[in-house]
Structure formats: C-alpha cells, structure tokens
Structure 1
Amino acid sequence: MKEDKCNNILAKPSGITLGQHRSDVVSEVSDICQIFIGTCEKYKKLTGKDLAMRLSVSAKWHDNGKACPKWQEACRKDFQSYQLWKHNHPTCSFKEYSSEKRNEAGYNLRTVGIRHEFYSLKEAVVTNMPIPILAAIAAHHGKLGLAFEDKWTSCPSFKQFWNEFRKTSNDISEKESLALVCDKLLEFDTIRGLLQFADHRASAKEDKEPVPGLNCFNYRFPFENKRGIQKLVEDNWNNDILLVRAPTGAGKTDASLLWASRQIAVHKADRLVIAMPTRFTANALSVNVAATLSDTGLYHSSAWYSKYSKVQNGELDMKEALAQQKMANLLATPITVCTIDHLLMSLTFTQESHHLICSNLANSCVVIDEADFYDDFTLANIIFLLKVLHNWKVPVMIMSASLPESALQLYIKAGFNIESILEDKESDSYNKCFNIKKLIEYDDIQDINYLLKYCIERGNAIIYLNTVDKAIKVYKEIKALVLGSGKDIPIILYHSRFTEKDKQRKENMLLDNLGRKAWNNGTAKGIAILTQIGEISINISSELMISEICPIDRLMQRAGRLCRFDNSVGEMYALIPYKDNTLYPAPYGSYSQNEKSWIPCKALLSTIDILKAGIYSAQDLVNILNKVYSEEAVFSIKAQTNVQALEQMLINNWLMNPVEKWNDDDTHSNSWRSRDIGPQGLVFVIKPACTHFYNYSEYMEFVLSYSISLPVYLLDKGRKEHRIDSDCKITIGSNDPIFINVIRDGFYTFDIGVDLTNNEEDNFL
C-alpha cells in the first residue's frame, strides 16, 4: 500500500518519511558493520562496547527531532510547494525541482530557525544515552563546533548539551596526553563519522544519486613466484611496523599488497592506505595498483582528473566519478592512494569530515612510500603521524629505495619497536651498475652545451633539472640544437606547471617514447627534460642521464631510470649548479630573506662531498646514503614548532571543531603547515565560456581541467609583467562574485606549460 505522506511525519521536503529514512540509515549501518569487521573488533577492545549496537541506536535517534511540530510544519509547506511544481513536471525529481527553483525549494526549512538535531538530543537524553552517541547525533550535520556556539546557547535546554560537550572536550584536552586523546577520538569518532557516512549514503540513495558499493579488500598475488622482498615482508607481516629498503624494480608495490592482505585477513585493519610524498607519485601508483585491484581510490587536490578523466570522453558519468572521489577522500575504499598531506591535515579537525577520515585511518593498515629524508620539516610531521598511528595500533610499513640506517632510531622515537630494516641483499637489482662519468660545475647553460649535443647524438636521454625555469631554458636550447641538426628526435618537457589534462598527455608521450614497451620493441627514442615530478612517478628509462646534483636519496630515485628495463650500464653526468660563482642549491635548502640567498641543506653538501666519478651499484648508493645520513635526524626549531602546533590542534579540536575552516586544497592552517612552502594560488589557462557556475562541483570541473597551482609570489610577478590578468569575474551558485587569474595568450603552451622565465630559478617540481 502506498504511504500517505500527508499523514506521516516527514524527514525531508521531498516527501521521504521519518520512518523510511530511519529504516534506510539503520540498514546502511548494518551493511557498514558487516564490511568493517576490523573496526568493530578494535572498538570492542578499546571501549568494551558493541559498535554495531551503538551505531544502530544513534541511527534510530539521530533525526527524531524532526517530529518537532514547528519543524514539521515548515517541512510540510516545502513538500506542498514541491507537489505543486511536480503536478506540471510529473517525471521530475526533487533534485531537479531544487535546480530549477533554487530559492523556493526548502525555503521554509531554511528560515524556520530550528536545528532538528538539537531536538533529537532533547528526545534522546531521557534514555541515559552515553555521550559518544549524543555527540554523534549533535554532529551529524557538522554543527558540533565553536562556530555554532550561538545556536547552541540561544536556548537554555540546548545550552546544557553544549556545556556538557565543552566540559567533556576540555577535561580530555587539559590533560595534554596524546595517548588519552587518541583513545577518546576513536571512541567518539567511530560513531560520529560512521553515523554521518550511513546518513549520507541513505540520503543519496533516496535521492536516486549514485552511491559506490561498500567492498572488502580482495587481493590475489598475480605471479607464480614471490621475489625476495615480497617473501621478507610476508614472513614479517605481524610486526607493528616494517621498514623496507628495496631498489627500483624489486616488487615493492605487490609486497605492500601481500602485507596488507595478511593484516586485513586477521581483522587488524579493514583497508589499505598508501601515502605518497606528492600527488604526482600518487597518480602513478594508483594506476599501477588499479591494474591489479580495480577498486582503488585516489585522493588529492588534482586527483579527480587523473583518476576520472573518463568523464571527459563520456565513458563515466560525472556524478559517479564525484561519488567515487568522495569515497576516496574519506578513506572508505578498500585501497586508497593519497598524499601524506591528506592524512596529516585530517589530524587538525578543522573540517567535520576529518572525524570520519581519522576513524577510517585508525582502522587501516598504512604504507608510507618514498618519503624524503632530507626534508626535516615534512619528516617531523610524518613522525608525529606515526605516533598517532602507533597509539591507534595501526600496522605501518615504510618502504623506500633510499632508507638510511639512522632511520631506525628516528622511527623508534615514534613508539614502535623496530630491530632492523628489511632488505633483500641478494636481489639482482643490487648488482645493477651505472657509471657517473663526470661531476661538472656550471653556471650557464652554454657551459653544458656539449652535453646537450651528446644527448642528441645518442638519441635518448633523461635530463633532470632542479627548478622549473632552468628546465624550460634547457628545453628551448635543445629544441634549437635539434632543429639545427636536422634530426627527428622527440623533446618532451615535463614539470608541474601544466594543466592536469596536459600532464596526462605528457605522461603518455613519455611512456610512448621511453617506456618499457618502446624499449622492448626497439623503438625507444627521445629526450625527456624533467624536474622532481619525474623522479618516482614516470616509468621510463634511458641509457644516458644528465642530472643536477641533489641529496643522495633523490639521486637514487633519478638513477633508477637509467637502463631501467635491462642490465646495461647506464651513463650519468652530474651537474653542480652555480649562480654568480656561488653554489645554487634550490630547492634543497632554505632561502634567507635577510641574505637574499639560498642556504644549502646538510644532505646536499654531504652528497657533493662524497659523490665521485665511477661505476656504482645500488648497494654502493645505499652505502653513500648511510654516510650522508649517518647521524639521527635533528629537527630544526621551525620544524619542531610546526609539529607542536599540529599536536595542539589535535588535542584542542578532538571533539569540538574550531572556528577556523580549511579548504581541501590547502596545505596549511593559521598555525601549522604540512610542508615548508609558501602560499599557492590558481591561474587558469583559458577564460570560462560562461562566468556563472551553477554550483561548486561545476566550478571544480573547470578548475581541474584548466587550472594550475602557482606560488603567490609568481602570480604577483605574472601580473606585474602583464602575463597574468586578474580581472575575470565569476560567480558560483548564489555566492558573491570572485575574481580569478587567467594567463594571457602565449604564456601557456602544451610544449612549455606556464612560461614566466626571467632570471627566476626558485620554482620547483
């Protein structure tokens, strides 16, 4: 029998009844608990409570406040408005009604001045419900935060709840105990996050929106035999943490999947999270893992285009793509590849979604892949992340080709018990050699002109430059030399100042010309000019490499692209850049505003001092690595102060969201940064065809297709030199107009990217 919505309590102006919605959320909660078995077991061990029971109770009570007569009256008025519209549009949904009648749809609920979750609390409190459930009900629309204090305190009956939440928060925060806060976070956030997750999934299904399925991690080793490092990892899977050092090509990715499958099989985790140092490396690994496991999420600020570019050619519906992206953001996919920044940012609790991200992170096993060791600022952040993961009893594996022995003591300080770094010294990869023919000091490109001609003569080469502008200058020089030679050699420049669409095309060109298939077919030809973006993320190879000097752990990654697909001896020329007769170390150091010059980091100076011409194996490089990083890392005052700010944010914000909000694309708050870089801004390579975007999602599609992130000082430079205009006004939904940066014609091309070269060489990646 069809439900009579006029006589039932409504949950939404679309006509969904409260009984139906409650049933839908309870059903989602049940499905979640059946899939997230490890989460339920960890919760039981931590609290002694049944998570499924607590979630079910929160689901049954979370919207009971909608029965409040005043709220119901407003909802019914909105439902009646929808019904009148639907009479003339019988096949259309409430979503379509909302799109056409943006101001009318839901107007009465928006103006009635009632927060239904407050009334839900008032109903629930008489049952002596535990405070973690009350907090979940209070927060399920993101209003449990200091920015909404006036809404809570305006009514005495709701103020008592606010005071209780503040007292609970302060009682824990004031103890300044990271372990205690981590425990309380799990007890509260597992319910808080999963209730919201279930509620959002139920609502999306009710609105006929795409909802990705909840799937279990499922991996089968695809090869007949396991390699050395894979056997070592599997044999030691039960350790709380594994440190794994293995050269390029040793099979680290499948080793991590084998390790994760063991953790998940015994319910120590429900999913695998792989954290990469940059979004570019995350893109590449996601594609690699997805070849074995299709249900792999990718999340970072530009991931949408890299992972879901099928939307552009109509193979995938945009709504489905955005729904999958949201799952990856929340770490709710069986495998999520993301940046380290994304995990660090979730510890600030400056967004409501951070509570669910942290709950899912706490019930994951985590692989940190190829973290930089020379960068003490980022490393200090990672050590704090590891302390939190240790408190949450999260299995961790750190794997890299460049992991020094001194890392042992550093990671022990995070609380883990570690005896040694796992390493397969019998691997063939450790016998592989390459020849550093010469170390060359140079100040001007003309100083190395003969090497560029040699690259053209050889027909294939990879050239690494440490700054974008130097890479652009070398590209222009080589293009001119090739043109003069009359030879047909592809020259491919790749750095971070391309749109996501063009990055994808660049990567495809690199693979077509210098990838494994090209070498196997005997068709490999071309010169790739790369910045740090190409150290890990691109699976290409050459017989000849020219590389500006960098810390040994970065140089090891670059050398891994020499004769990558065979056992030949590759040839390298190492360049030591100078500027005005002084070593120019950017970006491997710090810039002194007082001196107006760069101060090289210790690892770079040690690498220059130790590295000599000669033939090297991977093991030789490991020996140099251990010399360069022979001492345990000592964090700078800046790095220590920054980490202390992150810890304080976690301790202060664990229950009550702060007033400060954080955009997804940012890497810093007012007091903390994930990386020691300056503020960034967007520049667009074209003006939008229409300057009004219906909603934020429509705007983000434009952003992901046509924008590039640049340091703010470079944007200022571009404006001063009349290469960037800032007078293009757009609107997003009903928000106030904003102005966007648009690069002028001629200063962005597919060959070069954004070209702001003018004696400026402090731009990286």
Structure 2
Amino acid sequence: MEENQIDGSFLNETAMLLWGKSDPYEPLLHHMIDVGACAEAYLRKANRPLLKLLSENFHMSEVDTTAFIGYVTACHDIGKAHPSFQLKGDAFASLPENIKSRLKAIGGSFGFSANFRHEKYSKQILYEYWIRSNLMDANLALAAASVIGDHHQKSGSSLPMTSKVEKNYRYMQGVLLEEVKKAFAPSVFPERCDDLSLFGEGLNGILILSDWLASNEKFNVQVSDDTSEYAKNAFRVAKNTVEAVGFVKSRLPDVNGLAELYDWDARYLRPMQKLVDQEVSKAPKLTIIEDSPGAGKTEAAVFLAVKLCKSYGKDGFYFALPTAATSNQMWERLNNIFSKFSIPEFRLMHGMAWSVVQDDYKENNQKGSEDEIGPEWLRPMRKALLSQFAVGTVDQVMMSVMKVRFRPLRMLGLTDKVLVIDEVHAYDAYMSEIIERLLAWCRTLHIPVILLSATLPDEKKKEFLKAYTGLEIGVPISPGYPLLTMVDKAGNVIQKTCGPFKKTEYSLHILPLLNDLEKTADKALELTENGGNLCLMMNTVKDAQGVYRILKRKKQITDGSDLELLLYHARFTAGDRQRIEKLCLDRYSGKQRPKRSILVCTQVVEQSLDVDFDILMTQLCPIDLLIQRAGREWRHDYSVRPESITVPQIYVLTGDIKKSPVGLIYYPYILHKTEKWLEANKVLQVPEDVRPAIAYVYSQTGDDPEYFEKFLSEAQMKTSGESCEIDEPMADEYYLMENEALLSEDKDEYAGVATRLSRPTTRVVLCTDEMIEEYRNNQCLQFIINRMLDHSISLDCDVPYDKREQKGVLKGMYLAQEGNGIYRIDDVCAVRYDSEYGAEKIRGN
C-alpha cells in the first residue's frame, strides 16, 4: 500500500480511534484509562497497606502515589499503537469502515505476526518516552517499563516499521500518552525510589489485576469524546467494580488480649499463649512459635496475627498449612472464631477447596482479553489469596515466588496481610528453599510472618531467620523449649522461653513388624481387645490398604462386632475423602468417641488435625514426625479412656528398611538414628526430650555414608528449588520473569511447576460412560459438574496435557472411563476403585 504524507489533524483524530478491544470495538485510549482507573480504585478501596508502602517508598503523599500508579498502569497498552496490532486479521475486518479507511491511509503491513507482542513494544516506547520527557530517572523508568513489557507473561518481540509508517504511529503514541497524562493528572513524579523490587512487585500485581478487571464484559463506561469526562466515568465504574468483586475490607476485631478474642478466662491461658499475650506489644516482624502439639500454638498465632494487622496497618491474614485436610479443619475453626465479629467467611484455598465450599462455577466472560485465566482468577475460589482472610495449603503462597504464570497476583494478595505458616518443620529441603525465598520477599514487602512448629531443628530455624532478616544471626539459638523467637522492628532477634502446657510421658515399644502386615494387624487387635481407640499409621497407601484388608477379614472371623474400622488416606475421590475426613473428625475429635476402634491411616493424620487416640501404633519414621504423630494421642484431657490403658503408649514398627518403601520416603540415615534413639530410651518425654532427640537424630555421626547420601540429596533438592523460584529481591533492581524461561508457555497455567518434589500427578475423574455423556451434553448444569468433581482423584501419573479437558471447571483434568471395574489412565497405569478402600493401582492391565 502506498504510504501517504498525513497531516497532524488527521493523526490526532485517528489516534483517538485506534482500537484496544475489537469485539465489541473499544478505543485504545478508553481501555488504557479503564485499566488505570481500576488500579487507582484497587489501591484506594482494597489495598491501603500497599498504597502506604509505595508512598513511603517514593517519599510522596498517598494522593500523588495513587495518581502516579494509575498513570503508569494506564500506559500499559501503548504498544497496541502499532500496525502489526491495528491491522491484524479478523480484528481489523470487524472494525467500523471509517476506522479501517484511516488505518489503511496511515499504512503498514496487513496480516498477523505471532511473534509480535504489543506489551514488548510498550516497554520500548515507554522507557524512551519517560526518559526523553524527564518524567522518571533511568532506573525507575526501566523497572516500570519492564513490568509493563511482561504483564501478559508471554514471549515475543516488537517488529520494525518503515520510516514513514513509524513516524505516523510515533506521533499517535505521543497523542495518546498526553491524553493519559491529562486523565490521571499526576502532579509529581517520584524523584527517588528506595526499593525498586518493592515498586516493581507491587506494580506487577496491580497491573495484571487491573487489566483483567477492566476487560470484564460487565465493565461498561459511559462513552464521552472528552478525555477528562470519560476518565471521571471510568473512575466511578472502577470503584463499583472493585466493590462488586468483593475486595472491600471488613473491620478487624479490636481486642486487648488473647483471652478477649476467644471469650476465655485469662487465668486459664496456656503458658505459650500467656507469653505471646505479654510480648505482642513488641510487634515482631517475624515470629517463630515452638511448642508441643496441643499446646495452643494456633490460638496464640491467630491472636498475634490480629494484633500485627493493627500494628502494621494490614487488613487480614493468610493461614498456610501442610495439607488440604488440615486446611479444611482450620477453615472451620477460624470461621467459628471470627463469626461473632461479623467477619465474612474465610476463603479456603487449595486444590480441592471446591469439594468443601460451593463455588459459582459459571464462566465469566470477557471482551477481547488475551488471558483466558483472567476471569477464572476473579471467581471466589481463585481470588482467595486476594481476599481479606484466607486459609489453605502452603503451596498457594509458595507459588508467589515460583516461576508460574501470573504469580505476582499471589504476592499482591499477601501485601495487605500477615502470613502464618503452620508445621514449618514439615517441609523438605526443596520446599524449605522456596519458603526461604518467600520470607526474603516478605521482608522487602513488609509482610509480617508467623511460623509455627513443634519440632523445628536449629539449623532450619537459622536459615529462616537469615532469609527474613537478610543477615547472619549474631546470637546463639536458645536451647529452651517451648520457645518464642521474635525479630523486632529494629531487626533484633529476641528469644523467650516459657513453661510447658503439660508434660506427657509416652511409653515406647519397639516391634520388629515393619514388613509384616499380618502380625501388625494381630497386634492392633490385641491392643484394643479390652476397648480403646487405636491409630495405626502406615507410611504408604498400599500398606494402609493391605493391613486394613487383613483387619477386616480377621474381624469377620472373630465376630468382632464391637470393633469399628476406618481407612483414611489420600487416594480417595474428592467426595469420598471429604466424607471420610468428616467421619474421622466426628469420631475422634469430640467427647463421644467409640468404645473400641482402629483407624488405619497414612500421614494425612500426622499433623495439625485435632484428633485424640488412646494408643498409637506407627511404622518407623523420623523422630520429629514421630513426635508429631504422638501429638494425636492423649491429646484431650476430657477424653474417657479404658481402665486398661493407664499411660500413653507408642508402638513403633521397625525392621529392614531395605525391604520396605519407607527408605524411599525418608532418609535411611535419619531412620537409623531415630531407631537408635528409641532403643536407648524407654520413654519419650514431651517437651523435655524434643530438643535433644531432634538434635541427636539430625546431627552428623562420623563418616556415615548414609549421612552423605542425605547431604547430597538435600543439596540436589535445594538446587531444584532454586531453579524454579524467582530471584532474591534487590533494592536497586527488580527481578523480571521475562529474563527467565517461562514455565507456563503451554496451555496449563501450572505446567512444569511443582511445589513438592514427587512423581508427576494428574487429577483424574473416574467416570462411567453415562457420566461422560451427561457431562458432554450438559456442561453448565451444576449438579453434573459437582458429580464429576466428587469423582475426581489425584493420581501419580503424568497424562499429556492435550489429552486432558481443555476448558471449563474440569480444565486440566483427565476423564478416565470405567471398563470391567478398571479405570485405565495410560499405557502403564490403571486403577481399581472402591469407596471403602480407595484407589488401588494396577500396572500393565
């Protein structure tokens, strides 16, 4: 096409008509203003803590900071003023004729280039523009432009134009940028920025969220040719949108002491609870609470979180736990605590939250947005971390520092919160490395953190302290236990001890039955012959299913009608797992426990679950986990126990670990050291033995080759963690995901990302032919969706993504059809399923 000389008047008019959304048509300028308005509304209405933080970082007022962030965010799509975008395919064809004729007159190549990314071009244009206009210094301009260049987190580049065409588009870009500046009217620009990582990370999340909010089909602004008038209309709609999405905050309870929060008599607070109550005025930035299971750490942490919100101007908190089961129970506990303060129900956030909380699964529509995932993030389940109060698995917050697409939204959700991580000892070297990186970013973003543990090794504690403070710890780690460790506002490490809540002495019995399920079942029946509730904890689902099957057979043979049996592990469908989890809690967490029962379980019962047994029988495990398992025994003083059971007893099943899968789950070195400690001690005294037992087991013994095997394995796990996490924050530079290989270039948002090192897993829906037909024909009916979800299960198999569901609620799941009682997953994996036993894997069928 011939490229004509075009006057400024024509270009001025055309600039205002360039399209930003094509279906339906929306001017580029209007969309840019919409997004900036959403950014301002979000800061004003939904995240005042981040606004305050950014203002302090710039040494500007909150009003000026809001206008600056709104302006920068609005500039994000200036790269769409490029012929490769304006003239592309179907979008161009759908434009009004007068706009098409203008674009043809300006010139450029028609068609579509998959390599052109408008946001990459935005980065180039804006950096040059801000420097040339003296609006920002080079470092700030680069950080802001780079965030904009990465806000879709897709690879690509800008494309060259002929000189005449480029001159025309550069002119129109200037027109649009001046109109944006007029709309947001930033009176001052930052002359200094103390921390570019703080600014960059905050802007990153705000931009992604604002772009999605403004792209929702319900975001309708009254059109006006006058930019200032349109901006006023957009600000009004943005404010209403932020409120409608549910980002507006509730008032935190204003309580003076821990007892007041729970309506307790302060005289009966437990020692650690009293200590936290006394020290809360220090407003620690990092707190580590170490106390034995059942000592009231959770209540102390929740109270501290509420008080820290007040001290640091935060709006709420996120409570992170190791498993979905523990998250579910904590969700109920927190809702019960805060319902009296008119706090809305906490959001539950983990991979199976939909099985507990009914969600609105209807698809949200959007007008021309490129990111399918955008509307999904605005659903109740997906926006949980952006809500004021949430509880879920630790994986959800770990992903805020992992190379996963749109991870800045997770970090954005933390900026107005206190973060609580429970059972922090329970995570391996891989997860701990990622948690340490999360702590470093919490330091930069001024996010207070509370860590809870019953059995935290000193070395791991040092690593957590170093990650949060950014410094080597200059004081010795206190050997005291229970222990409260705090990092105050000045960065000082303070350690305080208190007395134990109670002293428990567990009688230890070592049984050489690790690899003998038959005799294990016999012993469990013998121990409950005169009544009582026994927890039989196995290390694998296969062993748990095997011993349960034997127990059930022996019960039938001996007419054990008074014996109640229950099997609980992770390999049940969502519906069955929820049912069994509730049954387990109902049976063992209240005062009315069975007279005689055996719960066969795996590690799903190991931590945080508030259940109480009379006898614990467990396969060999590391000493810290054994102490955790012991916390499920003789937990409640009010429990009525058989006369024959006078003291807490732990039966540990030991044997040749080379013949058992236990050596693949835990380090042989730690297992052997644990066994040696158990052999040398007839009792386990809690809390007296906690520190010395863990110190003995985790210390190096000579040149033991098993120790070096553990050392090398942990080093490899740490390296694996480093490879999938973002860089450490730096005050003079902001990490950019575009500089790394993205882990989300395929269709799955989380593909290639693992928060836990294990075999690849796939969520599989176990279906009959009838279920699949109903689903294909009625994908919008809620009861059909719920039935499919209830029949889903996570299995350790790696189904290619293109064979999974590609859209809707079941996106990313694989539908496995039943045939002769077998569900085939792939060529080497199939399962048989039973609602009592769960899924049993069959190879080669």
Paired position in structure 2 for 1:404: 457
Evaluate the alpha carbon distance shift between residue 693 and residue 41 of structure 1 in structure 2; reply closer, same or farther with a 3 A threshold.
Answer: farther
Name the count of aligned residue pairs. Answer: 669
Equivalent residue of 1:366, what SS? Answer: strand
Deviation of 1:513 (Å): 2.0
Hey, what does 2:686 align to over in structure 1? 618
In structure 2, C-alpha distance between the alignment counterparts of 1:700 and 1:666, rounded to whole Å = 21
Secondary structure in 2 matching 1:660: coil
* Alignment partner, residue 43 of structure 1: 54
- Candidates 408, 426, 429, aligned match of 2:499: 426
Instruction: Report 1:383-532 matches (<5 A).
Output: 383-414=436-467, 416=469, 417=473, 420=478, 421-422=483-484, 425-428=498-501, 430-454=502-526, 457=529, 458=531, 460-486=533-559, 487-519=561-593, 526-532=597-603
Note the 1:66-465 alignment, pairs <5 A: 71=86, 129-130=135-136, 145=153, 147-149=155-157, 151=158, 183-204=195-216, 206=218, 211-216=245-250, 218-219=252-253, 221-224=261-264, 225=266, 226-234=269-277, 235-236=279-280, 237-267=282-312, 269-293=314-338, 294-308=344-358, 323-328=379-384, 331-351=385-405, 353-362=406-415, 364-372=417-425, 375-414=428-467, 416=469, 417=473, 420=478, 421-422=483-484, 425-428=498-501, 430-454=502-526, 457=529, 458=531, 460-465=533-538
Specify the alignment match of 1:656 in structure 2. Answer: 738
CA distance in 1, matches of 2:194, 2:516: 53
Letter in 1 for 2:686: A
Considering only aligned residues, what root-mean-square deviation do their CA atoms show, in Å?
A: 4.8
Distance in 2 (CA, whole Å) between partners of 1:476 and 1:708 is 21
Q: Which of these residues, 823, 826, 833, is aligned with residue 748 of structure 1?
A: 833
CA 1:749–1:239: 2 relative to 1, 3 Å: same
1: CA distance between counterparts of 2:284 and 2:17? 55
Q: 1:63 to 1:452 in 2, by over 3 A?
A: same
Q: Once structures 1 and 2 are overlaid, which stretch shifts more, 692-701 or 230-239?
A: 692-701
Cα separation, 1, equivalents of 2:548 and 2:757: 28
Structure 2: distance between partners of 1:491 and 1:36: 50
Is the alpha carbon distance of 1:396 and 1:138 closer, same or farther for their aligned partners in structure 2, counting shifts above 3 Å?
A: closer
After TM superposition, the structure 1 stretch with the greater mean CA deviation from structure 2, 675-684 or 409-418, is 409-418
Is 1:641 the counterpart of 2:686 in the alignment? no
Q: Could you list the per-position Cα deviations for residues 646-665 of structure 1 after superposition, in whole angstroms to 9, with x for gaps in the alignment?
A: 45766896252645333898
Corresponding residue of 1:606: 673
1:58 is matched with 72
Residues of 2 paired with 1:141 and 1:355: CA distance? 14
CA 1:250–1:23 in 2, change beyond 3 Å: closer, same or farther?
same
Contact 1:44 1:51 in 2 (8 A): yes
Q: In 1, Cα distance between the equivalents of 2:689 and 2:726?
A: 39
**Residues 1:585 and 2:662 aligned together:** yes
Contact kept? 1:434, 1:571, Cα under 8 Å: yes
Amino acid at match of 1:345: M
Cα drift, residue 471 of structure 1:
0.1
**Amino acid of the residue matched to residue 297 of structure 1?**
R
Q: Secondary structure at the match of 2:425?
A: coil
User: 1:42 & 1:22 partners in 2: Cα distance?
Assistant: 24
Q: CA distance change for structure 1 residues 310 and 287 in 2, over 3 Å: closer, same or farther?
A: farther
Partner of 1:30: 41
For the Cα contact (< 8 Å) 1:241–1:396, is it kept in 2? yes
Question: Displacement, 1:638?
Answer: 0.7
- 1:541 alignment partner, SS class: coil
**1:671-707 Cα deviation digits (max 9, x unpaired):** x854331222333311423575999999997774332
Change beyond 3 A, Cα 1:401–1:727: closer
CA distance in 1, matches of 2:328, 2:811: 34
> Conserved in 1, the CA contact under 8 Å of 2:430 and 2:717?
yes
Task: Give CA-to-partner distance per residue, 1:195-226, whole Å, 9 cap, x none.
Answer: 33233234447259962233256245122335
Distance, in Å, in 1 between the alignment partners of 2:315 and 2:612 is 37
| 3-state SS of 2:572 partner | coil
- 2: CA distance between counterparts of 1:20 and 1:756? 52
Contact 1:577 1:584 in 2 (8 A): no
Task: Determine helix, strand or coil for the equivalent of 1:248.
Answer: coil
CA contact (8 A) 1:380 1:640 kept: yes
Distance 1:217 1:281, change over 3 A: farther
C-alpha displacement of 1:363: 5.1
- For 1:324, what is the secondary structure of its paired residue? coil
- 1:168 aligned residue: none
**Partner Cα separation in structure 1 for residue 568 and residue 111 of structure 2:** 49
Deviation at 1:532, TM superposition (A): 0.7
Identity %: 22
Distance 1:368 1:374, change over 3 A: closer
Output the amino acid matched with 1:628.
V
Alpha-carbon offset, residue 146 of structure 1? 5.9
CA distance in 2, matches of 1:502, 1:450: 28
Q: What letter is aligned with 2:675? A: I
- 8 Å contact 1:462–1:546 — kept in the other structure? yes
Q: Structure 1 CA distance, aligned partners of 2:621 and 2:427? A: 10
Q: CA–CA distance in 2 between the matches of 1:20 and 1:146?
A: 20
DSSP-derived class of the 2:585 partner: helix
- Range that drifts further, 236-245 or 473-482: 236-245
1:367-408 per-residue CA deviation (whole Å, 9 max, x = no partner) reads 221023583333333333333433444322211111234444
Q: Indicate whether 1:572 and 2:649 are aligned.
A: yes
- Alignment check: 8 A CA contact 2:457 2:694 kept: yes
Deviation at 1:79, TM superposition (A): 8.5
- TM-score, normalised to structure 1, is 0.74
Instruction: Say if 1:301 and 1:80 are closer, same or farther in 2 by CA, change over 3 A.
Output: farther
Q: In the alignment, which residue of structure 1 is the partner of 2:762?
A: 681
Deviation, 1:347, is: 2.0
Task: After TM superposition, give the deviation of residue 342 of structure 1 in Å.
Answer: 3.1
The 3 A distance-change label for structure 1 pair 664 and 619 is farther
Tell me the distance in 1 between the aligned counterparts of 2:748 and 2:788: 12
One-letter identity of the residue aligned with 1:300: H
Residue 243 to residue 728, structure 1, CA distance change in 2 (3 Å): closer
Change beyond 3 A, Cα 1:232–1:310: farther
**d(CA) in 1 for partners of 2:74, 2:552:** 67
| C-alpha distance 80-297 of structure 1, shift in aligned 2 (>3 A) | farther
Whether the 8 Å contact between 2:440 and 2:728 is mirrored in structure 1 is no
Contact 2:574 2:791 in 1 (8 A): yes
Q: Which residue of 1 aligns with 2:620?
A: 549
Which deviates the most, 576-585 or 357-366? 576-585
Residues 1:373 and 1:68: Cα distance change in structure 2 (over 3 Å): closer
SS in 1 for 2:457: coil
